[in-house]
Structure 1
Amino acid sequence: MSGRPLPCEVREIGSLFLFEKLSPEQLARLCREGRVESFEAGPVYTEGEPATCFYVMLEGTVAVFRRVGGEDVEVSRTSQRGVYAGAMQAYIGDRVRQVYTNSVRATAPTRFFVLPADTFASIMREWFPMAVHLLEGLFFGAKNTQAVVGQRERLLALGSLSAALTHELNNPAAAAVRATATLRERVAKMRRKLALIAESPFSAEQLASLIDIQDRTAERVAKAPVLSPLEAADREDVLTDWLEDHGIDSGYQLAPAFVQAGLDADWLEQVAAAVGEEILPNAVGWLNYTVETELLMDEIADSATRISQLVDAAKQYSQLDRAPYQVTDVHELLDSTLMMLSAKIGPEIRVVKEYDRTLPRIPSYPAELNQVWTNLIDNAVAAMRGAGGEGTLTVRTARHDERLLVEFRDTGPGVPPAIRDRIFDPFFTTKPVGQGTGLGLDISWRIVVNKHHGALRVESVPGDTRFQVLLPLTAQESGGAPAGTLAGGVPLTPSEEPA
């Protein structure tokens, strides 16, 4: 934006706190290379545009806005003479993307002293070379520190997730190993039983019937219903009685496997009718091995499937084989994070998913959103554990004001009002020493607000705490902007320091 040009007076410029220590020659150069502009109520400059000027207010009133979720939110308002904003980092040059990091609007007729960004940069380097070096060191030092601290937070989360993943992988792997060893034993017994059957006086028709029953038994195992413990116990009693009535003394040992496989007394009646009473015990023993081998193979298949799902979840969570910025289904991200954290969540905390599957895929940095989900879920679990260990975590998605809402609701004790305004501050934590860095919510806020142009907020009462993430639905709103495009740059009063 450009205002109405006005004469620049050295005396007025020199009366500003920013320039009061400059020499007459320096003030004259400022007036010669800068300008005074008058703005009516309205925009002075807009966030995201190239930062071309450095503004110092001579008189008037300005409001500063930050873009959050596609909306401009007012963050400050001042009439303090001498406050400044705009291209305050021009002295760094092309090493940093030079854009306005906020929007400034005049709320009344306002005059500014305006320096072009290039002039501001050259004056800074020429007049204050040592100060420029110090400012550059502070700027890049703070940036590097933030990156290192953020990386440390990610490594801590990765270590925790790696331990959880190892535990989760160990369970199905151990189950598969146990099932394989048992299966080998059962197959060996099956071979011996086959030898006994071969020596028995089976007719060709009886053998054919037995093989047919074996095939149909295997099919029933695959379709076995899931029974309640009470139903299973009742069926085991019935089968034990049937087997004992037919001269099979080990019926109480065979009944549990038969019930698990979906076999009942009617099925055993069909077996007895097909093979005859004299060879029924050997036939039942043979079918028992068939049932056990099928159940063991199912257990191995389930374990392998679980391992595969965990590996897929780990790949989805880490996004190792995917582009950093892409169009993503948030439900896939949420599911992979919940699976990765399932051991940490534990069985005492119930997880409820309330997904709106009609929501569109959104442009995002999925690996970083997974970090947000991890931080919010971890905090919710910690809150519920601290309040007795049990609770419910509800993960909900919905459309809210043309944005995508992801809500994490827990039944913990809540966030006290006294600290609610501080929970997003860096290094603020309520966890015991050594259990929290105080950076999880700060990093989450930066990822959601700075990187995705979204919003992160909290609503909390005892027994109902909700962290809500609001994300733009389109690339035009989120802009695919790199991190940092919203940081710093508000007009400053004399007591504040430049960002």
Structure 2
Amino acid sequence: MSGQVMPCSPQEISSLFLFEKLAPEQLGRLCSQGRVELFEPGPVYAEGEPATCFFAMIEGTVVLSRRVGTDDVEVTRTSQAGVYAGAMQAYLGDRVRQVYNNSMRVTRPTRFFVLPSDTFAEIMSEWFPMAVHLLEGLFFGSKSMQAAIGQRERLLALGSLSAGLTHELNNPAAAAVRATSTLRERVAKMRHKLGVIAEGPFSRDVLARLVEIQERTAERVAKAPSLSPLEASDREDALGDWLEDHGVDHGWQIAPTFVQAGLDVDWLEQVAAAVGEEILPGAVGWLNYTVETELLMTEIEDSTTRISNLVDAAKQYSQLDRAPYRVADVHELLDSTLLMLSGKIGRRVKVVKEYDRTLPPVPAYPAELNQVWTNLIDNAVCAMTADDGAGTLTVRTALDHERVLVEFRDTGPGIAPEIKDRIFDPFFTTKPVGQGTGLGLDISWRIVVNKHHGTIEVESAPGDTRFRVLLPLTPETPESPESSEEAA
């Protein structure tokens, strides 16, 4: 939007704090190469447009806003003469994408001193060469520091996750190794028992019935019901008595295995009727090995499935095989993060999922959203475990005015009101020395707001702290320029 060009007075612009130290010839050059413009109420420039001008307000009222999702959020509103905005980084040239990092509008007739961006860059380099070098160093140094520290934060999180993942993988792996070793012993004993039975005076029909019973027993193991401790104890007593009454030695040792496999007295009666009393002890012993091998194979299957699920969760969490920007299901991302952090969450923290499964997928950088979930979950767990180590973490999703809401609620002591406004500041942390960098929430804010055009909010009271992440459902330009210092 263009304003009405008006005469430029060196004396008037010298009253602005930016120019009050300039010499008369410098003020004259500014007036000759710049201009004064009067803007009626309305927009002056929009965020993301090429930054072609530097603006210093002479009189009026200016409002700066940033786009967050589909909303324009007011950042600054002021009537102070001399405030400035626009192409403030023009002196960096093509090394930085020169676009307006905010939107500016005026609410009443407002006059600006306007300087073209290339003229502003030229004058800055000519008049203030040392200042330009310092500003360049500050700008690029800050970028490098943020990148390095952000990488460090990610590495710290990865180290914590790796330790937890190693622990989670070790348990099922060790269980599978133990079960495999025991299975080898049981199969060897089964072969021996089969040889003993085969050498006995048993007819072909009896052996056929025994093999059929073995098959049906294996099927029964796969469908074994879940019993309460009291039900299991009662069934063990009944099976032990039945086995002792039918001449099976050490029946009390076999009974728990049969109960775990879902076998009962009625089943043993069918076995006795099929094979006869004379070979019943040998048949029961052989069936015991059958049951044990089936249970061991189930244990191995469960363990390897657990390992596979953990590996899938790690892949989902890291998004190693996915495009960096894509449409993603937030529930898959949340589940993979919770699984990756399960070791750190521990058993004393109860995790409650309140998912709205009807939510549509969101356009996102999934790996970076996982980093946000990690930071928020880690903070919640640390807050709850700081006292007695117990609590409830509730993860909720919902649709909120055409945006996807992901909420993390913990039952920790809450955030003190005096620090609530500082928690997203870089390097601010309430964790003990050495346990936090103070960058987790800052990085989370940048990922949600800058990269996804969403919002992140916090509400806190003792026993109820909620971090709310809102993500737009409509795809935006993949990455907006980094926010810079906006002076107004």
Distance 2:467 2:484 in 1: 22
Post-superposition, which runs of at least 4 consecutive aligned residues in structure 1 deviate over 6 A? none
Could you say which residue in structure 2 is the equivalent of 1:93? 93
Could you say which residue in structure 1 is the equivalent of 2:17? 17
Could you say which residue in structure 2 is the equivalent of 1:480? 478
Given residue 137 of structure 1, which amino acid in structure 2 is its aligned partner?
Answer: G
Within 5 Å, give how 1:301-340 maps onto structure 2.
301-340=301-340
Q: Is the 8 A contact 2:324 2:366 kept in 1?
A: yes
Distance 1:104 1:26 in 2: 27
Given residue 146 of structure 2, which amino acid in structure 1 is its aligned partner?
Answer: Q
Could you say which residue in structure 2 is the equivalent of 1:59? 59
Given residue 480 of structure 1, which amino acid in structure 2 is its aligned partner?
Answer: P
Deviations 1:324-343 (A, max 9, x none): 11111111110100000001
Could you say which residue in structure 2 is the equivalent of 1:77? 77
1:20 Cα offset (Å): 2.0
Q: Is the 8 A contact 1:410 1:464 kept in 2?
A: yes
What secondary structure, in the 3-state scheme, does the structure 2 residue paired with 1:421 have? helix
Within 5 Å, give how 1:267-278 maps onto structure 2.
267-278=267-278
1:58 Cα offset (Å): 0.5
Given residue 311 of structure 2, which amino acid in structure 1 is its aligned partner?
Answer: V
Percent identity over the alignment is 78
Deviations 1:176-229 (A, max 9, x none): 100000000101111111111112111111100000010111111111112222
Could you say which residue in structure 1 is the equivalent of 2:50? 50
Within 5 Å, give how 1:211-226 maps onto structure 2.
211-226=211-226
Could you say which residue in structure 2 is the equivalent of 1:374? 374
Aligned length: 488
Q: Is the 8 A contact 2:66 2:73 kept in 1?
A: yes
Deviations 1:52-104 (A, max 9, x none): 11000001111221222321111221111111111000111111111111111
Q: Is the 8 A contact 1:408 1:468 kept in 2?
A: yes
Given residue 68 of structure 1, which amino acid in structure 2 is its aligned partner?
Answer: V
Distance 2:481 2:38 in 1: 33
Distance 1:3 1:225 in 2: 80
Distance 1:360 1:125 in 2: 51
Deviates more, 1:40-49 or 1:389-398: 40-49
Change (3 A) 1:487 1:71: farther
What secondary structure, in the 3-state scheme, does the structure 2 residue paired with 1:278 have? helix
Does the alignment pair 1:489 with 2:486? yes
Q: Please, which runs of 5 or more residues in structure 2 have no aligned partner?
A: none
Deviates more, 1:437-446 or 1:276-285: 437-446
Comparing both chains, which one has the higher relative contact order based on Cα–Cα distances under 8 Å and sequence gaps of 6 or more?
Answer: 1
Distance 2:5 2:241 in 1: 104
1:483 Cα offset (Å): 5.3
Distance 2:480 2:240 in 1: 69
Distance 1:348 1:202 in 2: 57
Q: Is the 8 A contact 1:331 1:355 kept in 2?
A: yes
Distance 1:24 1:417 in 2: 51
Q: Please, which runs of 5 or more residues in structure 1 have no aligned partner?
A: 492-499
What secondary structure, in the 3-state scheme, does the structure 1 residue paired with 2:285 have? helix
Q: Is the 8 A contact 2:101 2:481 kept in 1?
A: no
Given residue 419 of structure 2, which amino acid in structure 1 is its aligned partner?
Answer: I
TM-score, normalised to structure 1, is 0.96
1:45 Cα offset (Å): 1.4
Deviations 1:330-381 (A, max 9, x none): 1111010000000111111111111111111111111110010001000111
1:487 Cα offset (Å): 3.8
Given residue 377 of structure 1, which amino acid in structure 2 is its aligned partner?
Answer: I
Change (3 A) 1:490 1:236: farther
Deviations 1:105-159 (A, max 9, x none): 1111110011111111121122222221111111000110111111111110000
Distance 1:230 1:71 in 2: 60
1:386 Cα offset (Å): 1.3
Could you say which residue in structure 1 is the equivalent of 2:131? 131
What secondary structure, in the 3-state scheme, does the structure 2 residue paired with 1:88 have? coil
Instruction: State the Cα RMSD in Å.
Output: 1.2
Distance 2:115 2:231 in 1: 84
Q: Is the 8 A contact 2:97 2:481 kept in 1?
A: no
Within 5 Å, give how 1:103-114 maps onto structure 2.
103-114=103-114
Given residue 488 of structure 1, which amino acid in structure 2 is its aligned partner?
Answer: E
Distance 1:228 1:433 in 2: 47
Distance 2:350 2:238 in 1: 36
Does the alignment pair 1:417 with 2:417? yes
1:232 Cα offset (Å): 1.5
Could you say which residue in structure 1 is the equivalent of 2:352? 352
Change (3 A) 1:483 1:166: farther
